[in-house]
Amino acid sequence: MSSQIDHLLNETRRFSPPEEFAAQANATAELYDQARADREGFWAEQARALHWHTPFTQVLDWSNPPFAQWFADGELNVAYNCLDRHVEAGNGDRVALLWEGEPDGDSRAVTYAELTEEVKRLANVLLGLGVEPGDRIAIYMPMIPEAIAAMLASARIGAIHSVIFGGFSADSLRSRIDDAGAKIVITADGGYRKGRVSPLKPAVDMALADRNGSGPQESVEHVLVVKRTGNEVPWREDRDLWWHDVVPQASADHEAQPFPAENPLFILYTSGTTGKPKGILHTSGGYLTQAAFTNRVAHDIHPETDVFWCTADIGWVTGHTYVTYGPLANGATQVLYEGTPDTPHPGRWWEIIEKYGVTILYTAPTAIRSFMKLGRAIPKQFDLSSLRLLGSVGEPINPEAWMWYRKIIGGKTAPIIDTWWQTETGAMMVSALPGVTETKPGSAQVPLPGISVDVVDDDGVHVGNGNGGLLVIKEPWPSMLRGIWGDPERFKETYWEKFEKQGFYFAGDGARLDDDGDVWFLGRVDDVMNVSGHRLSTTEIESALVGNDAVAEAAVVGASDETTGQAVVAFVIIKESYLHEHSPEGLAGTLRAWVGEMIGPIARPRDVYIVGELPKTRSGKIMRRLLRDVAEGREVGDTTTLADTAVMSVISAQVK
Ligand code: PRX
């Protein structure tokens, strides 16, 4: 980490906003002044860009911290804002989704009028199945237009969706369905990934069945299934429904009803520092306000002319805010791609950009680094001249990747915004404003207008320019999480206890302020890893590992990785009896696959080291810092607090 920081400190390149871009930009420098002069008034003005069935008279209620309420006496319908109002404004023929399936030639354009109609029909189907406001709907789908329709239909009837990434295993799906008490699951037979059918419905069946003695799942009454891949799926007549049997037949008359601004919109599970994922809860009015605002000023969306492409899966928060809610609230046209970047060929993304004339690309540093590795010759085969703005999200972007992105993808002219935020923040918090901010490769730079952040020491004291510390958010913001589903105590403990006195939100990220006061993010300071921009908990993977019969103890660390940012590295102690019967290589392979099965392929460790002991303090706490040194091939740091100081040399020898 320290060499990384030194490297960042030497980064002095600056890029001023191109004049042509600035002349047409939605953002202006005045936004900062307006927000500074009257923060709540500023957010109220942004909220008024939405359609309110009942206008709000209150802006922020922070009388019961950390439970905020925004625009609480106002009423709106989130789906109406993303759909009907564009149709009513005469834009029904505008394309909402330019959908591209993974198999070549499989594409479909869906207009705002068509998407609105589909959502109305689906809303009627869900109402017919007895879904009521506040009920939970689990969504486990590939990247197809029906997935977006499912989220919006849930929002339309005041239900709460919980999207579960299609790469998660049956076990992960089960625990999330159970925790939320979902009444309906919406899924597909499968989706296409890496040139193959990746089945989804069979995982739903497994998740709902009696597994590992847990008993059959009880809350789910119906499973609605889109036929996408045509693979054979198990079927239960009393529970399962084909989408094509019920949605096209349903009435397309459905008038969107108003719901209070604080009506829950969705739960999204994310990894924390314990083994149990947290159900992050977001509500309606404040969330949609900040999603739409940031998409307008940071992504600079011009709905009449832009073709926006956010490459995130809807299973992550980026897919919620910048695929479904932000761009659709703004009436934008966007690309939705089902597959992986390298299928059927490594230039697939660039081909899609050329085909649709994508103007704004929003993606993750991991993707950029993998393209960098493949070389510039691949993107150079395509016409990328339509791109006018590039965005990055999910992890720190190193200056080399930033420069490559600018030169090779952005034709040396498109501004780059590095946007910092979290599942918990709901929308962007720190980012340059294109056309306004002079950009710096590697820095997320400045809080957005209306957002107040700082970098502080352990006591909550501002560190001052030139110094590093912890990132905090000082004032409530509209799209902030409203809690952890079913666990208000954990919500307080995780985010608010550390700086209780100051009332700051603790993000869990290390950061540094440069001489201009700009923010440079340095990664997580807790036991959360960031692998390819996906959040994983060390503890969750450790619990999965010790759940295997062969494992006596396990410790997991996130080690730096050139492509994925961090990689999962596991150190495991194997039970004696297994050591005799199996080779270490065989065991390592089995355990990698096991974690993939228990959590999902994204959590599969890059390396599994079989060791005889783990480094522990006298109180029994595993010293992950030392294991990280080993995993990254560094000299092992200070071992004086270890109960047995010799243990690290033994481990280092075993790992080599
Ligand atoms: O560590 C930060 C990193 O990703 C974490 C949030 O992960 P998640 O909730 O999955 O949301 C990711 C997409 C919004 C943060 O705590 N992170 C996200 N964006 C950046 C970042 N780190 C550095 N720079 C960023 N731009």
Sign for the pseudo-dihedral over CA of 40, 477, 281, 163: positive
Weakest-pLDDT range from 132-136, 199-203, 245-249, 276-280: 276-280
Separation between Cα atoms, residue 178 and residue 75, nearest integer Å: 30
Separation between Cα atoms, residue 414 and residue 397, nearest integer Å: 17
Q: Give the count of beta carbons closer than 10 Å to the beta carbon of residue 204.
A: 28
19-440+451-506 belongs to CATH 3.40.50.12780: yes
Weakest-pLDDT range from 79-83, 204-208, 378-382, 548-552: 548-552
365 is in an annotated binding site: no
Concatenating the DSSP letter of every residue in 437-450 gives SPB-TT--BSBPTT
Q: Give the count of beta carbons closer than 10 Å to the beta carbon of residue 253.
A: 9
Q: Which amino acid, one-letter code, is at 18?
A: P
Report which protein residue has its CA nearest ligand 1's atom 3: 395
pLDDT for 323 equals: 98
Instruction: Kindly state if the Cβ of 532 falls inside 6 Å of ligand 1.
Output: no
Q: What share of the chain is helix, strand, coil (3-state, %, to 5)?
A: 35, 25, 45
Strands 607-610, 565-574: parallel, antiparallel or unpaired by DSSP? parallel
Average pLDDT over residues 484-507: 97
Separation between Cα atoms, residue 361 and residue 359, nearest integer Å: 7
Q: Which atom of ligand 1 is nearest to the CA of 316?
A: 10
Element (DSSP H or E) covering residue 366: helix 365-374
Secondary structure in 3-state letters for 527-569:
CEEEECCEEEEHHHHHHHHHCCCCEEEEEEEEEEECCCEEEEE
Average pLDDT over residues 332-346: 96
Most ligand 1 atoms within 8 A of CB, residue of 266, 271, 535 to mutate: 535
Which residues in the chain are classed under CATH 3.40.50.12780?
19-440+451-506
Whether 188 and 200 have beta carbons less than 8 Å apart is answered as: yes
pLDDT category of residue 3 using cuts at 50, 70 and 90: low
Instruction: Kindly state if the Cβ of 396 falls inside 6 Å of ligand 1.
Output: yes
Instruction: Kindly state if the Cβ of 423 falls inside 6 Å of ligand 1.
Output: yes
Whole-model pTM: value is 0.93
* Burial of 502 from C-beta contacts in 10 A (0-12 / 13-18 / 19+): middle
Tokens for 632, please give them. 């990254």
Alpha carbon 526 to its chain's center:
18
Tokens for 358, please give them. 């994508």
528 is in an annotated binding site: no
Instruction: Kindly state if the Cβ of 165 falls inside 6 Å of ligand 1.
Output: no
Instruction: Kindly state if the Cβ of 444 falls inside 6 Å of ligand 1.
Output: yes
Average pLDDT over residues 425-430: 98
Strands 75-76, 259-260: parallel, antiparallel or unpaired by DSSP? antiparallel
Element (DSSP H or E) covering residue 24: helix 19-24
Sign for the pseudo-dihedral over CA of 562, 568, 571, 576: negative
Cα–Cα separations (whole angstroms), residue 305 to 334, 352, 389, 395, 482: 11, 17, 13, 29, 35
Weakest-pLDDT range from 308-312, 447-451, 652-656: 652-656
Tokens for 242, please give them. 């084909």
Tokens for 81, please give them. 């804002």
Q: Where are the alpha helices (DSSP H) in 67-225?
A: 78-82, 84-86, 112-128, 145-156, 170-180, 201-208
Instruction: Kindly state if the Cβ of 418 falls inside 6 Å of ligand 1.
Output: yes
Question: Which of 265, 306, 300, 302 is closest to 284 using CA atoms?
Answer: 265
Using DSSP's 3-state secondary structure scheme, residue 260 falls into strand
If you search the block for the tokens 């689906």, which residue do you land on?
A: 122
Average pLDDT over residues 524-549: 89
Separation between Cα atoms, residue 422 and residue 316, nearest integer Å: 10
Average pLDDT over residues 352-364: 98
Instruction: Kindly state if the Cβ of 508 falls inside 6 Å of ligand 1.
Output: yes
pLDDT category of residue 556 using cuts at 50, 70 and 90: very high
pLDDT tens track for 138-174: 999 999 999 999 999 999 999 999 999 999 999 999 9
Q: Is the peptide bond before 344 cis (omega within 30 degrees of 0)?
A: yes
Element (DSSP H or E) covering residue 198: strand 196-199
Average pLDDT, the chain: 94
* pLDDT of 45 higher than 70: yes
Report which protein residue has its CA nearest ligand 1's atom 8: 422
pLDDT tens track for 444-454: 999 999 999 99
* pLDDT of 6 higher than 70: no
Spacing, Cα 320 to ligand 1 middle (Å): 15
Spacing, Cα 523 to ligand 1 middle (Å): 8
Separation between Cα atoms, residue 321 and residue 288, nearest integer Å: 8
Say which CATH class 532-655 falls into.
Answer: alpha beta
Whether 589 and 583 have beta carbons less than 8 Å apart is answered as: no
* pLDDT of 1 higher than 70: no
Top-confidence range, 45-54, 585-594, 612-621: 45-54
pLDDT for 7 equals: 67
Most ligand 1 atoms within 8 A of CB, residue of 271, 295, 395, 540 to mutate: 395
Report which protein residue has its CA nearest ligand 1's atom 5: 422
Q: Which residues neighbour 513 within 8 Å (Cβ) at sequence distance 6 or greater?
A: 455, 463, 464, 465, 466, 467, 468, 519, 520
Separation between Cα atoms, residue 18 and residue 434, nearest integer Å: 9
Average pLDDT over residues 489-511: 97
421 is in an annotated binding site: yes
Alpha carbon 256 to its chain's center:
28
Instruction: Kindly state if the Cβ of 254 falls inside 6 Å of ligand 1.
Output: no
564 is in an annotated binding site: no
Which residues in the chain are classed under CATH 3.30.300.30?
532-655
Separation between Cα atoms, residue 479 and residue 493, nearest integer Å: 20
pLDDT for 5 equals: 62
Instruction: Kindly state if the Cβ of 506 falls inside 6 Å of ligand 1.
Output: no
pLDDT for 643 equals: 77
In degrees, to the nearest 5, what angle opens at C-alpha 550 toward C-alphas 549 and 552?
95
Tokens for 471, please give them. 């990132």
Report which protein residue has its CA nearest ligand 1's atom 22: 395
328-364 b/e (C-beta count within 10 Å ≥ 16 → b):
bbbbbbbbbbbbebbbeeebbbbbbbbebebbbbbbb
Question: Which of 319, 316, 367 is closest to 165 using CA atoms?
Answer: 316
Instruction: Kindly state if the Cβ of 99 falls inside 6 Å of ligand 1.
Output: no
Instruction: Kindly state if the Cβ of 512 falls inside 6 Å of ligand 1.
Output: no
Separation between Cα atoms, residue 520 and residue 468, nearest integer Å: 9
pLDDT for 642 equals: 80
Question: Which of 453, 301, 277, 470 is closest to 391 using CA atoms?
Answer: 301
Most ligand 1 atoms within 8 A of CB, residue of 453, 509, 526 to mutate: 509
pLDDT tens track for 202-223: 999 999 998 777 789 999 999 9
In degrees, to the nearest 5, what angle opens at C-alpha 640 toward C-alphas 637 and 642?
95
Separation between Cα atoms, residue 427 and residue 294, nearest integer Å: 7
pLDDT category of residue 94 using cuts at 50, 70 and 90: very high
Q: Give the count of beta carbons closer than 10 Å to the beta carbon of residue 1.
A: 11
Q: Give the count of beta carbons closer than 10 Å to the beta carbon of residue 266.
A: 28
Contacts of 228-231 with C-beta under 8 Å, sequence gap 24+, read 228/142, 228/144, 228/188, 228/189, 228/190, 228/191, 228/192, 229/188, 229/189, 229/190, 229/191, 229/192, 229/197, 229/199, 230/189, 231/189, 231/190, 231/197, 231/199
271 is in an annotated binding site: no
* Burial of 197 from C-beta contacts in 10 A (0-12 / 13-18 / 19+): middle
End-to-end CA distance of the chain: 22
Using DSSP's 3-state secondary structure scheme, residue 34 falls into helix
